[in-house]
Amino acid sequence: MSKKLFIETLGCAMNVRDTEHIIAELNKHQSYSQTQTLEDADLIIINTCSVREKPVAKLFSELGVFNKKKKIGAKIGVCGCTASHLGDEIIKKAPYVDFVVGARNVSKITDAVLKKGTVEIDINNDETNYDFADYRNSLYRSSINISLGCDKSCTFCIVPATRGDEISIPSQMILNEIQKAVDSGAVEVFLLGQNVNNYGKHFSDKTETTNFTQLLQLISKIEGVKRIRFTSPHPLHMDDEFIEEFASNPKISKQIHVPLQAGNTRVLKDMKRGYTKEWFLNRCEKIRTLVPDVRISTDIIVAFPGESDEEFLDTLDVMEKVKFDAVFNFKYSPRPLTPAQNMPNQIDDATATKRLQRVIELHKEHQDEHMAKLVGQTLEVLFEELKPNGEVFGFSDNYIQVFVNGSEELLGKIVKVKVTSASRTSLKGEVV
């Protein structure tokens, strides 16, 4: 008989993919259907994120609620980056938690469910040759890991301590997985890694030499692949070859995440980001010149330890120059296992809030400017969902949400749409 799984996914695209892997692995041995109702679940899993402090603090109160509401005999598991970071501390603090499986140990999920008290958190575990079972949330999009872990040591970031050293997944495995996904109806592939354009530096098999640009070329040769997206590239590794491939390969979606973090070169140095303000601006300028309709998104951290008011102005200056299409903005959050938590001149919350507000306000102006320009243009949209109100929803090639009136015939197809109106975050249009 099928069991019921309640799974909550926090954090980044890597976690969303790990959740798909968890579901696939569980179903190898026992059929599970997903439920949104906690009280119905036989198995409850939280796939956690530890990048900022708040969600971690929330974890234990949430676990307490889950424990009260769950039906008798239901199991509770904690997966993801906070599992890697806190390990058996989680079970010590919340003894009703049945198992803990870290972000680098997803392949161990089935055994963990069967054995109460399991803690699998080895960050050196190599899953690059592990053949995960198939499962994807979307009929049309297939998310594929191309690397695990991170080889950087940005001083604010806990990820290298939770996801471990970087390993590049053999290209043949990636291509096989994409072929399988395409054969079962996927048209878009979404390549995932902490620093995707660093791909190829850390193969277990030292004879393999494929780099990210070459990987993109190989993937685009697969006939059924209509659209390729990836996240996140690192600004440091945006060489000309990569940007030129991004610009000229028609299958690559013209949306790119270029995580700035901070605009000031001294602050970037303290963050150990490996690039300067000028390099960042130069890369974005090259991208915008070669791909005029590109959408550039970014991550910004305000109030990193020691960032002066004047240095913060460099972040606003980069925003003015690049005019990002989307900004994920964060107040610096001190994390365990990171050097920045011990740096002098930690910045007070009131200052951080003021800076964040300025980032948000400036970004709104840029968003409105970009979106207004799109009215009247024709975009190529991949439709993926029929809404109850009769609208069909999809993403344009440069990854903007687009709604049209239509039917399920549009689903899974890439269709030309003329934009009729724009809000700050989405477009409406008509199929042409």
Shortest Å, Cβ 298 to ligand 5AD? 9
Q: Which residue has the tokens 């119905």?
A: 40
Read out DSSP for 45-101? EEEE--SSHHHHHHHHHHHHHHHHHSPTT-EEEEEEHHHHHHTTHHHHH-TT--EEE
Per-residue b/e over 260-283, b at no fewer than 16 CB within 10 Å? bbbbbbebbebbebebebebbbeb
Shortest Å, Cβ 92 to ligand SF4? 27
Q: What is the DSSP letter of 276?
A: -
169 binding ligand SF4? (CB under 6 A): no
Based on DSSP, count helices (H) and strands (E) in the chain, helices before strands.
13, 19
Contact between residue 353 and residue 329 where contact means Cβ atoms under 8 Å apart: no
Residues in region 194-233 near ligand SF4 by CB under 6 A: 194-195
Shortest Å, Cβ 262 to ligand 5AD? 9
154 binding ligand SF4? (CB under 6 A): yes
The listed partner (ligand 5AD, ligand SF4, none) that binds 383, CB under 5 to 8 Å by sort, is none
Among 156, 246, 383, 403, which residue interacts with ligand 5AD (rule: CB under 6 A)?
156
Q: Which stretch binds ligand SF4 (CB under 6 A): 63-71, 121-129, 156-164, 408-416?
A: 156-164
Question: Toward ligand 5AD, which CB reaches closer, 52 or 251?
Answer: 52
Cβ neighbors of 150 (< 8 A, separation 6 or more) are: 157, 159, 160, 163, 165, 166, 194, 195
Shortest Å, Cβ 134 to ligand SF4? 27
Q: How far is CA 95 from CA 60, 82, 259, 312, in A?
A: 11, 16, 39, 44
258 binding ligand SF4? (CB under 6 A): no
The listed partner (ligand SF4, ligand 5AD, none) that binds 194, CB under 5 to 8 Å by sort, is ligand SF4
The listed partner (ligand SF4, ligand 5AD, none) that binds 231, CB under 5 to 8 Å by sort, is none
Tell me, by CB under 6 A, how many residues bind ligand 5AD.
13
Neighbouring C-alpha atoms within 13 Å toward the C-beta of 37: 3
Q: How far is CA 50 from CA 82, 101, 122, 151, 315, in A?
A: 5, 14, 16, 18, 25
Q: Which stretch binds ligand 5AD (CB under 6 A): 121-129, 264-272, 328-336, 406-414?
A: 328-336
Joined tokens for residue 73: 């005999």
Contact between residue 138 and residue 185 where contact means Cβ atoms under 8 Å apart: no
Question: Toward ligand SF4, which CB reaches closer, 154 or 419?
Answer: 154
The listed partner (ligand 5AD, ligand SF4, none) that binds 330, CB under 5 to 8 Å by sort, is ligand 5AD
374 binding ligand SF4? (CB under 6 A): no
Helix (H, G, I), strand (E, B) or coil at 217: helix
Shortest Å, Cβ 301 to ligand 5AD? 5
The span from the CA of 52 to the CA of 331, in Å, is: 9
268 binding ligand SF4? (CB under 6 A): no
287 binding ligand SF4? (CB under 6 A): no
Question: Toward ligand SF4, which CB reaches closer, 103 or 410?
Answer: 103
Shortest Å, Cβ 295 to ligand SF4? 21
Tell me, by CB under 6 A, how many residues bind ligand SF4.
9
Helix (H, G, I), strand (E, B) or coil at 16: helix
Question: Toward ligand SF4, which CB reaches closer, 45 or 157?
Answer: 157
Cis peptide before 232 (omega within 30 of 0): yes
Joined tokens for residue 170: 């053999």
Among 8, 151, 299, 311, which residue interacts with ligand 5AD (rule: CB under 6 A)?
299
Closest alpha carbon to 409 in 375, 383, 388: 383
Sites of contact with ligand SF4 (CB under 6 A): 150, 152, 154, 157, 159-160, 194-195, 234
Sites of contact with ligand 5AD (CB under 6 A): 12, 51-52, 156-157, 259, 261, 299, 301, 330, 332-333, 335
